[in-house]
């Protein structure tokens, strides 16, 4: 039988897409061939479908649908709780959705999920599942953090504006005495501005999103990085966000909202010492930023090989599949 891994995105070496990185990791760790739209139909053993379907995903080709329906074991690899999981029953009209219930009609088992989310009773749809922290792919051990004495004395928050984080944004980004830098695309920047009734104070700077080229270099220029998680992560375990590994790679000292402590603890990351309750805590942390940076680098970067942990998780997920010990 032929096994393989499939991704809708093009396998470009410099691609920042998580789906591309996941596909390449599976290829490297398990030695599985990477298939495209044309030749994927030959897979009749284990087919690993990486991410999707996303809003930008193309229509499933005939070859992909046939492979999904006939393969012995179908794996759906996902790295975000917001990704839509296919329904195993029902009659979806789109090509991709129909493949799942057509597979079920043949009597073949439902897909197995390799996910950054650990499903719990009453949460999500129940499927066979293995936990794989795909976000660890973001960690870079090759990057050498810059000299900390040259950085600005500001708090950095970067990324999208999410309404369910507004309370946390208000807690830390309003009323602070230290300089604050918010890096976001135009639409998100406009949303962040509403925190201040469109009258952004002098200590707050809204800048464009950090470009992909020189991303880690840019992180090193700031004083502290703020880690905030979605509310859903307060009660459902998700892997540490990509920004954790990005800031750690860059040597940017991090501070965390108290609510993030529980789930990060489940990931064996004790952040209690670096929790900030309010803007006053931010000022104190800023004074200690060099010490925090040294401790976090020693505690997490120097003592943990996230890349090796990911390989172990992928291999364990593979062994848990029917016939998973052979390729």
Task: Report pLDDT for 303.
Answer: 87
Q: For residue 125, what pLDDT is reported?
A: 55
| Residue 300: predicted pLDDT | 95
- Within a domain: residue 99? yes
Give the C-alpha separation, 47 to 201, whole Å: 53
Burial of residue 184, with CB atoms counted within 10 A of its CB: 0-12 exposed, 13-18 middle, 19 or more buried: buried
**Size of the chain, expressed as the number of residues it contains:** 327
Phi, psi torsion values for 226, nearest 5 degrees: -100, 125
Answer whether residue 327 shows pLDDT above 80.
no
State both tokens at 315. 């291999």
CATH number at residue 198: 3.40.50.2000
pLDDT in tens, 298-318: 999 988 899 999 999 999 999
Same domain, 92 and 183: no
Same domain, 154 and 297: yes
pLDDT tens digits for range 155-202: 999 988 988 899 999 999 999 999 999 999 999 999 999 999 879 999
Judge whether residue 135 has pLDDT over 60. Answer: yes
Average pLDDT, the chain: 86
Domain shared by 166 and 67, yes or no: no
Q: Tell me, yes or no, whether 226 and 104 share the same domain.
A: no
3-class DSSP assignment, residue 287: helix
Same domain for 89 and 180? no
Q: What is the pLDDT of residue 149?
A: 57
pLDDT band at 55 (very low <50, low <70, confident <90, very high): very low
Same domain, 153 and 295: yes
Residue 34 domain-assigned? yes
Q: Is 60 exposed, middle or buried (0-12, 13-18, 19+ CB in 10 A)?
A: buried
- Over the Cα atoms of the chain, what is R_g? 22
In this prediction, residue 122 carries a pLDDT of: 43
* 108 and 152 assigned to the same domain: no
Which tens digits make up the pLDDT trace of 264-274? Answer: 999 999 999 99
- Give the CATH number for residue 100: 3.40.50
Answer yes or no: do 120 and 177 share one domain: no
Question: Do 244 and 284 belong together in one domain?
Answer: yes
What confidence score (pLDDT) does residue 198 get?
74
Q: Which residue has the higher pLDDT, 201 or 231?
A: 201
Name residue 131's beta-bridge partners.
115
For residue 106, is it within any domain?
yes
> Would you give the DSSP letter of residue 61?
P
Residues 84 and 208 in one domain: no
Does some domain include residue 291?
yes
Q: In terms of Cα–Cα distance, which of 248, 226, 221 is closest to 146?
A: 221
In a domain, 143, yes or no: no
Q: Report which of residues 208 and 151 the model is more confident about.
A: 208
Give the model confidence (pLDDT) of 57-72 as tens digits.
545 678 888 899 999 9
Whether residue 296 lies inside any domain: the answer is yes
Q: Which domain holds residue 224?
A: 148-304
Residue 173 CA, chain-centre distance (Å), reads 24
Same domain assignment for residues 175 and 277: yes
The answer as to whether 142 is a domain residue is no
Query: How do residues 56-112 score in pLDDT, each as one tens digit?
Result: 454 567 888 889 999 999 998 988 766 666 665 555 556 677 777 788 888 888 888
Tokens at 16, concatenated: 């920042």
Number of CB atoms found within 10 A of residue 309's CB: 14
Q: Mapping DSSP to helix (H, G, I), strand (E, B) and coil, where does residue 170 land?
A: helix
pLDDT band at residue 121 under the 50/70/90 scheme: very low
Instruction: Report whether 256 contacts 264 (CB < 8 A).
Output: yes
Task: Kindly state whether residue 194 falls inside one of the protein's structural domains.
Answer: yes
Contact 51, 78 (CB under 8 A): yes
Looking at residue 12, its pLDDT comes to 82
Q: What is the pLDDT of residue 89?
A: 54
**Token pair 């379907």 in the structure block, residue:** 53
Residue 123 pLDDT > 50, yes or no? no
Number of domains making up the chain = 2
Clarify whether residues 167 and 82 are in a common domain.
no
pLDDT tens, position by position, 280-290: 999 999 999 99
């Amino acid at each position: 039988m032929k096994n393989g891994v499939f991704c809708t995105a093009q396998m470009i070496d410099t691609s920042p897409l998580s789906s591309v990185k996941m596909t390449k990791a599976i290829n490297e760790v398990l030695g599985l061939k990477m298939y495209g739209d044309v030749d994927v139909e030959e897979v009749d053993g284990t087919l690993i479908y990486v991410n999707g379907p996303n809003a930008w995903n193309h229509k499933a080709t005939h070859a992909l649908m046939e492979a999904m329906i006939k393969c012995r074991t179908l794996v759906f690899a996902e790295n975000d709780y917001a990704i839509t999981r296919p329904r195993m029953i029902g009659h979806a009209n789109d090509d991709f959705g129909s493949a799942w219930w057509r597979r079920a009609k043949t009597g073949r088992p439902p897909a197995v999920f390799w996910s950054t989310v650990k499903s719990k009773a009453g949460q999500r749809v129940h499927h066979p599942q293995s936990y794989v922290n795909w976000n660890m792919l973001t960690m870079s051990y090759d990057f050498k953090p810059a000299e900390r004495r040259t950085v600005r004395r500001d708090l950095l928050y970067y990324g999208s504006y999410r309404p369910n984080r507004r309370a946390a944004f208000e807690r830390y980004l309003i009323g602070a005495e230290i300089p604050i830098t918010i890096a976001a695309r135009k639409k998100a920047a406009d949303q962040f501005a509403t925190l201040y009734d469109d009258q952004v104070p002098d200590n707050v700077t809204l800048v464009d999103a950090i470009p992909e080229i020189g991303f880690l270099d840019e992180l090193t220029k700031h004083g502290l990085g703020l880690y905030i998680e979605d509310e859903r992560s307060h009660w459902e375990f998700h892997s540490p966000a990509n920004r954790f590994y990005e800031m750690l790679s860059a040597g940017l000292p991090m501070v965390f909202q108290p609510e993030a402590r529980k789930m990060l603890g489940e990931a064996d990351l004790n952040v209690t010492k670096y929790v900030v309750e309010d803007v006053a805590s931010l000022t104190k942390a800023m004074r200690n930023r060099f010490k925090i940076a040294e401790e976090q680098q020693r505690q997490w970067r120097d003592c943990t090989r996230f890349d090796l942990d990911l390989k172990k998780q992928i291999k364990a997920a593979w062994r848990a599949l029917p016939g998973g010990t052979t390729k």
